[in-house]
Amino acid sequence: QVQLVESGGGSVQAGGSLRLSCAASGYAARSYCMGWFRQAPGKAREGIASIDSDGRAIYANSVKDRFIISQDNDKNTLYLQMNNLKPEDTATYYCAFEQLPPQILSHCTAGYRWSHYGPGTQVTVSS
């Protein structure tokens, strides 16, 4: 059973930075797709970044050039470095995981509909 726990959320002023972490456990897959999505009240879920087991990262246009996704395989931890935050980035951020066969790793994109995700961490950006 995959378990994902996010941390690092908080309140920040526009232009500031935050680094989210996601501790992952309970999986042994060598081929997978991990990522982050967010959801603001009254809005649809938005996938913002993905990274696969080969280290290929993809970003949504809304966060490209501002956010960086990375992973530490030794620590089983996924990160999201968020820079130049904007009020529209305010949302609950979720870490997500999906085991994928190597032959379809190309399906791992920022908009992937993961089935495993954590409880989320709140990010609030004030103007």
Give the integer Cα–Cα distance in Å for 21 and 79: 5
Kindly report, residue by residue over 11-39, the tens digit of the pLDDT.
999 999 999 999 999 887 889 999 999 99
Burial class (CB in 10 A: 0-12, 13-18, 19+), 38: buried
Kindly report, residue by residue over 71-103, the tens digit of the pLDDT.
998 889 999 999 999 999 999 999 999 999 999
Give the integer Cα–Cα distance in Å for 64 and 119: 24
pLDDT > 90: percent of the chain: 92
